[in-house]
Amino acid sequence: MTKIKNFRISLRSREMARWLKKERGMDTTPELDVAIDQAAKEAKAWIEPAAIYTTLTRQIAEKTTTISFPDKAIAVSVLAVSIGPALEKEWQAAQSDPMKESLLAALRQEALSQALQFAVRLVQDQAKEEDCEMSAPVSDLPAGRQALSVASSLATLLGTARIGIHVDASGFPPYARVAWLFWTPVGKNSGRAPTGRPVGTEKVAA
């Protein structure tokens, strides 16, 4: 199990503007660009990225999770990321201000995306060392009661409470994401399960 806290992420203004146009119908203007940049600067005080992940062999994962494996995959890395609850509280307080609410929603989306990509890159680097290819991240939890069951089992597997992620009746909180990636061996190591990082390994980054 690997835990990393307080790592740096870069909020991309262009991606936030793109999200606002797609999801909120807001056309890009010089004024909006300035507002996005200002919101991104303010958000540094509200965002506290953290990630936790582990890698399981196919045999273990099929016994302990409901994750469905592709044919040639030999292992899966399960990860969860959080940006902390502070930004979510700011978003909730901004419900009466449509512009601020939209900006904070875009910030949340971008921050979660960047935190997830940070964790994914770490897993991908580990896979390369062991001559494995990684699938794209999968995060399609089922709907309804089954979704809560799966979310709870993954949270327990990872120990997400250690980075402030607690599953409730609605599943994972809005400031968190969970995903998994499959390992597929290539070359001469085809068919060999990855050794992975030793269980209990923790990292704390400034």
Rounded to two decimals, what is the model's pTM? 0.85
**Domains of the chain with bracketed CATH:** 2-189 (3.40.109.40)
Which two structure tokens, joined as six digits, stand for 48? 């506290």
Task: State residue 143's pLDDT score.
Answer: 66
Gap between the Cα atoms of 130 and 118, Å rounded: 19
In contact, 49 and 111? CB cutoff 8 Å: yes
**For residue 118, how many other CB atoms are within 10 A of its CB?**
18
Task: State residue 146's pLDDT score.
Answer: 67
Determine phi and psi for 78, rounding to 5 degrees. -110, 130
The residue type of 154 is L
Task: State residue 201's pLDDT score.
Answer: 38
Gap between the Cα atoms of 146 and 107, Å rounded: 29
Length of the chain: 206
Which residues are paired to 56 by β-bridges? 76
Task: State residue 96's pLDDT score.
Answer: 96
Per-residue pLDDT of the chain in tens (206 residues, 90 and over written 9): 899 998 999 999 999 999 999 999 999 999 999 999 999 999 989 999 999 999 999 999 999 888 889 999 999 999 999 999 999 999 999 999 999 999 999 999 999 999 999 999 999 999 999 899 999 998 877 666 667 788 888 999 999 999 999 988 888 999 999 999 999 998 655 555 555 443 333 444 43
Determine phi and psi for 55, rounding to 5 degrees. -120, 130
Which two structure tokens, joined as six digits, stand for 56? 């399981």
In contact, 14 and 62? CB cutoff 8 Å: no
**For residue 125, how many other CB atoms are within 10 A of its CB?**
10
Task: State residue 198's pLDDT score.
Answer: 35
